Chains A and B, each alone.
Chain A
Amino acid sequence: MNQTNHSKRPPQLFKNLSAKIASIPMILTTMVVFVGGTTWTVVHSFTNSKLLPKLNFVGLDQYERLWSSRRWLISIENLAVFGFFSLILMMVIGFFLATLLDRKVRGENIFRTIFLYPFALSFIVTGLAWQWILNPDLGLQQVMHDLGWTSFEFNPLNSGDTVIYGLLIAAMWQGTGLIMVIMLAGLRGIDDDIWKAARVDGIGTVKTYIKIIIPMMRPVFVTALVIVASGIIKLYDLVVALTNGGPGLSSEVPAKYVINYMFRAQNLGQGFAASTMMLVTVAIILIPWAYLEFGGKDNG
């Protein structure tokens, strides 16, 4: 909205200097940890490091093996499916709940807390609770059977075709609350006058949201997107807690492949090759976008 204007840069050098000094932690973090650590990882992905990182280069061997591994291919496919649905559902559900709460709801505090609290609980437990609820002998299916609806079938975790949807149910439960709060915050930032104007013009509620409100909330969607997308890439704990990759390999994800091969198989090189592939993908999508989003436009 009110874009800050930075054409007037601080004139004295020493003032800008204190900004630079204040940014030293950030510069060190980005250069040493993120760039340095990433470079280190990429370099070691070309080695045959086993338990300890070593510099015995083996060319592209680790990558050849990676791309011929069925488990890796399954992991990527799973992440793509999960990522696609999770991105859409998170945004849609988050926005939808926020619009509901934005309508001067009584007990808004209570509803908001209900939607948000799962975010406070660790994945270990999220996994355990949902494992139960989705368990056919203990959870929902059994309850429906007890109530006499014996044809009711709801057992997503025990079949390779549906397990991803089981993961989605748990992931939505855990994460939509935060997105909802972010969206709600965005809606609250929109001036009442816009609603009045829309009503005067006779534009319907739904149409107002789509045509006017959502475009105005672009920065909000960006923040939400960063949070959701980074969560998707890092998806690991929830899988371990809920399915541990099963049944079979049907809910494996890339982060789990990386960690398994680094620490269980003691093939650091393979793990690093897999994490390099993840990083490259993220970088290709993100760096140009991040630069445009956060870099370019403020300089104008």
Chain B
Amino acid sequence: MADALTGPSGPPPKRIFSRTNIMLYGTLLVVSIYYLLPLYVMVVTSLKGMPEIRLGNIFAPPLEVTFEPWVKAWSEACTGINCDGLSRGFWNSVKILVPSCALSIAVASVNGYALARWKFKGSELFFSILIVGAFIPYQTMLYPLVIILRELGLMGKLGGLVLVHTVFGMPILTLLFRNYFAGIPEDLFKAARVDGAGFWGIYFRIMLPMSLPIFVVALILQVTGIWNDFLFGVIYTKPATYPMTVQLNNIVNSVQGIKEYNVNMAATLLTGGVPLILYFISGKLFVRGIAAGAVKG
């Protein structure tokens, strides 16, 4: 099934220079400009010196390429009295990212599996509430969460932050996993049951080995969300363990004299680097995973 998903299935175009083809590639190129324009502006700006930026034209390529803003964003930009740039938070972000992704994906995959294959009374109701939960703005849950974490003794600990990411990642991830597992052929499931495999047995021996694409999707969504998270990251950590986004916020929102746009742009590109790289390397797997997770209802 998954193999069938890799190839395009639309009607194949006939000749290379047919009218349809010119229209097709023309449209794609024009649309690409819209998507690439901000990236172009960011990259170009991050390579300019401040005097050149003051000249005004944000689209002009740099007359003199400088990597100074990148160096500054990474290791010199000041946030408060600390002037060591984004490098300060990079490893902190990684330390938050790894356990948060691992736990939230593990929990959501088991949830999705239970919902798809082992329904029990009320399971659909919980799932419906979960989906509604996806619509609640995080900020309104701030105080209830603070109270819950305080009672659990997890306030200010990495565990608390991991828990929060698990909770807020659950709705969408569970939806995707549930759809994916529902799409795995029933026969496999039945055969395993006949062989006497139970809930966990089937999960680990049948479901897991087949689910690489959906795990890639979950990973991409969670890495993007957790890596870019600012609010929870700053509340549930301390200055020594602030994630990178806190420094990004401080660099972009601190206004030291004239805004150093070049440093801001470099800082942004550096912070966005981790999810971006993941997108590039995951390539087709992402679409395959989404295909499997979203298609079956």
Q: Do chains A and B touch in the complex (CB under 8 A)?
A: yes
- Assembly CA distance A99 to B265 (angstroms): 33
Answer whether A294 and B124 are a contact pair too, CB < 8 Å, given A4-B186, A146-B57: yes
- Assembly CA distance A208 to B109 (angstroms): 35
Q: B28 touching A219 by the CB < 8 A rule?
A: no
Q: A192 touching B268 by the CB < 8 A rule?
A: no
- Assembly CA distance A114 to B40 (angstroms): 12
Q: B9 touching A129 by the CB < 8 A rule?
A: no
- Chain B residues positioned under 8 Å from A138 (CB to CB): 56-58
Q: Which residues A109-130 have CB closer than 8 A to chain B?
A: 109, 111-126, 128-130
Give min CB distance, A82 to chain B, whole Å. Answer: 15
- Residue in B10, B32, B57 whose beta carbon sits within 8 Å of that of A103 in the complex: B10
- Chain A: how many interface residues by the 8 Å CB criterion? 118
Q: A229 touching B28 by the CB < 8 A rule?
A: no
| Interface majority SS (helix, strand, loop, mixed), chain A | helix
Interface stretch among B82-90, B153-161, B169-177? B169-177
The chain A residue sitting closest to B53, CB to CB, is A138
Give min CB distance, B48 to chain A, whole Å. Answer: 13
- Assembly CA distance A173 to B127 (angstroms): 31
- Chain B: how many interface residues by the 8 Å CB criterion? 112
Counting CB contacts under 8 A, is B93 at the interface? no
Q: A102 touching B126 by the CB < 8 A rule?
A: no
- Chain A residues positioned under 8 Å from B148 (CB to CB): 32-33, 36-37
- Assembly CA distance A217 to B288 (angstroms): 16
Answer whether A189 and B135 are a contact pair too, CB < 8 Å, given A4-B116, A122-B271: no
Counting CB contacts under 8 A, is A272 at the interface? yes
Counting CB contacts under 8 A, is A215 at the interface? no
Answer whether A124 and B252 are a contact pair too, CB < 8 Å, given A185-B290, A188-B291: yes
Interface stretch among A13-21, A55-63, A149-157, A160-168? A13-21
Q: B287 touching A218 by the CB < 8 A rule?
A: no
Q: A282 touching B143 by the CB < 8 A rule?
A: no
- Assembly CA distance A100 to B20 (angstroms): 11
Give min CB distance, B158 to chain A, whole Å. Answer: 18
Q: B10 touching A187 by the CB < 8 A rule?
A: yes
Give min CB distance, A147 to chain B, whole Å. Answer: 11
Q: Which residues B34-83 have CB closer than 8 A to chain A?
A: 34-39, 41-42, 56-59
Give min CB distance, B261 to chain A, whole Å. Answer: 8
- Assembly CA distance A29 to B230 (angstroms): 22
Give min CB distance, A37 to chain B, whole Å. Answer: 4
What sequence of 0s and 1s flags, for each residue 195-230 of chain B, a beta carbon within 8 Å of any chain A beta carbon?
Answer: 000111000000000000000000000001000101
Q: B57 touching A143 by the CB < 8 A rule?
A: yes
- Chain B residues positioned under 8 Å from A23 (CB to CB): 110-111, 114-115, 120, 123, 126
- Chain B residues positioned under 8 Å from A113 (CB to CB): 279-280, 283
Answer whether A128 and B252 are a contact pair too, CB < 8 Å, given A143-B59, A223-B175, A275-B137: yes
- Chain B residues positioned under 8 Å from A15 (CB to CB): 118, 198-199
Q: A118 touching B134 by the CB < 8 A rule?
A: no
List the count of A-B residue pairs having beta carbons below 8 Å apart: 326
- Assembly CA distance A125 to B166 (angstroms): 25
Give min CB distance, A297 to chain B, whole Å. Answer: 9
- Chain B residues positioned under 8 Å from A298 (CB to CB): 119, 124
- Assembly CA distance A188 to B129 (angstroms): 30
Counting CB contacts under 8 A, is B91 at the interface? no
Give min CB distance, B167 to chain A, whole Å. Answer: 5
Counting CB contacts under 8 A, is B255 at the interface? no
- Residue in B132, B228, B249, B296 whose beta carbon sits within 8 Å of that of A282 in the complex: B132
Q: Which residues A190-242 have CB closer than 8 A to chain B?
A: 190-192, 195, 199, 205, 217-220, 222-224, 226-227, 229-230, 233-234, 236
Counting CB contacts under 8 A, is B140 at the interface? yes
Give min CB distance, B207 to chain A, whole Å. Answer: 12
Q: A294 touching B127 by the CB < 8 A rule?
A: yes
What sequence of 0s and 1s flags, for each residue 18-40 of chain B, a beta carbon within 8 Å of any chain A beta carbon?
Answer: 00000011011001101111110
Q: Which residues B257-297 have CB closer than 8 A to chain A?
A: 261, 264-265, 268, 271-272, 275-276, 278-280, 283-284, 286-288, 290-297
- Chain A residues positioned under 8 Å from B230 (CB to CB): 122, 124
| Most chain A beta-carbon neighbours within 10 Å: one of B5, B13, B31, B193 | B31
- Chain A residues positioned under 8 Å from B100 (CB to CB): none
- Residue in A133, A185, A299 whose beta carbon sits within 8 Å of that of B38 in the complex: A133
Query: Across chains A and B, which 9 residue pairs bring their CB atoms closest together, nearest first?
Result: A219-B297, A185-B291, A19-B118, A37-B144, A120-B275, A295-B124, A125-B268, A102-B10, A129-B38
What are 21 A-B contacts with C-beta separation under 8 Å? A25-B110, A33-B148, A38-B136, A53-B143, A101-B28, A103-B12, A111-B32, A115-B31, A118-B38, A120-B276, A121-B276, A139-B58, A181-B290, A185-B5, A185-B293, A258-B137, A262-B139, A283-B132, A291-B124, A291-B125, A299-B119
Chain A residues with a Cβ under 8 A of chain B: 1-2, 4-6, 9-10, 15-16, 18-20, 22-23, 25-27, 29-38, 40-41, 53, 97, 99-105, 108-109, 111-126, 128-130, 132-133, 137-139, 142-143, 146, 173, 177, 181-182, 184-192, 195, 199, 205, 217-220, 222-224, 226-227, 229-230, 233-234, 236, 255, 258-259, 262, 268, 271-272, 275, 278-279, 282-283, 286-287, 290-291, 293-295, 298-299
